[in-house]
Amino acid sequence: MHSRSTFGEVDGDNSIVAIWGNLRPRKTTAKAPARRACSRAVFIASHMTDTAKTRIRLPDRDTGYLDALELRVPINRITLSEISAHFASLRPENRLHGLNYERCAELPFVIDRLRPLFGERLTYLDIGSGGESPLPTYLLRATQWEIHCIDKFDWVRSQETYAARVMGRSASDRFSVQVDDLLTADLPESTFDVITNISVIEHFPGSTDSEAMVRSARLLKPGGTYVLTTLMNDGFFKEHFVQHGVYGEEYRAAPVFYQRHYDVAALEQRLLAPSGLREVERVYFGDYGFQFFERVLQRRLPGPLKALRALYKWATPHFARRFLTYSDRPISRADMSTNTAAGVIVMLTKP
């Protein structure tokens, strides 16, 4: 029997024979024997390159099935450094608060997957860019793509300021911003070669997440690339409401919808199936060991101590490199906080 996943390959005698993709283990730790009791091996490969495919054998031949393995793959530190540096260059305050923790997993993965397309002349749409995402202007600088950002709120106008900062006047002819609701926006169908939807879909209330997938998938050209990322807590699908205004929705008496944690079934039923797109690759990410994001970065500090955050917030990418990893298994935790770093990245294409 020979089985494969995003990360690896197992051969007939039950041992891992290959780790796929853009990683090259320089130092590896195979803890299979220690974990035999729970029939799960944790395999940590450190250091990644764009090219290598490496053969590795676990010392314990009994626990080599990918089914029984949890592969934890680290963030590509080179790409993370690039996108962090770009983020820091966009405005002075970014140096103080560091790139958002879960973006430290999402953006390097997405950039590495899109990199083979950098040399082509493509049209690109970023859905829900917000006022902070460094991705549109990173791609503006790294490619010759025509870049279009859409967001419901006018904080997305900051992206124009970043584009001017990055490229000067030359940015304007291939960078545009639209303040509009994706659900009603007049955008031409089958127009974009690449679409990114990064941590946005979980904020669409009711069943509008499915509607958004239908609408946005129509915008993609056949053969195009659609990148979807969202929050994931397998087995614990949940909609979270808050008692304050959020994303333009005012709080009056009723709680306001904030965001949703998907599980694998909901991801497939609510997002992937309605899109009509074909899945090419899926990877999960999060704090698989110590809950750094929830226990440290999201920890409620008493008033006077809040200022202490300034001492470590700038270092978010360094913490992400230490605690945040990818896996072929979703995180599943009954006690997950509303604000979490557990998610999924799905690469899709239009047949």
Ligand X SMILES: C[S@@+](CC[C@H](N)C(=O)[O-])C[C@H]1O[C@@H](n2cnc3c(N)ncnc32)[C@H](O)[C@@H]1O
Binding site for ligand X (CB under 6 A): 103, 128-130, 132-133, 150-153, 181-183, 198-200, 203-204, 247
Nearer to ligand X, 103 or 174 (CB): 103
Least distance in angstroms from the C-beta of 289 to ligand X: 25
Q: Which residue is nearest to ligand X (CB)?
A: 128
Nearer to ligand X, 181 or 189 (CB): 181
Least distance in angstroms from the C-beta of 46 to ligand X: 26
Nearer to ligand X, 13 or 189 (CB): 189
Least distance in angstroms from the C-beta of 243 to ligand X: 19
Least distance in angstroms from the C-beta of 152 to ligand X: 4
Q: What is the SS3 assignment for the chain?
A: CCEECCCEEECCCCCEEEECCCCCCCCEEECHHHHHHHCCEEEEECCCCCCCCECCCCCCHHHCCHHHEEEEEECCHHHHHHHHHHHHHHCHHHHHHCCCCCHHHHHHHHHHHHHHHCCCCCEEEEECCCCCCCHHHHHHHHCCCEEEEEECCHHHHHHHHHHHHHHHHHHHHHEEEEECCCCCCCCCCCCEEEEEEECCHHHCCCCHHHHHHHHHHHHEEEEEEEEEEEEECCCCCEEEEECCCECCECCCCCCEEEEEEECHHHHHHHHHHHHCCEEEEEEEEEECCCCHHHHHHCCCCCHHHHHHHHHHHHHHHHHHHHHEEEECCCCCCCCCCCCCCCEEEEEEECC
Least distance in angstroms from the C-beta of 282 to ligand X: 19
Nearer to ligand X, 216 or 325 (CB): 216
Least distance in angstroms from the C-beta of 90 to ligand X: 12
Nearer to ligand X, 132 or 294 (CB): 132
Nearer to ligand X, 60 or 180 (CB): 180
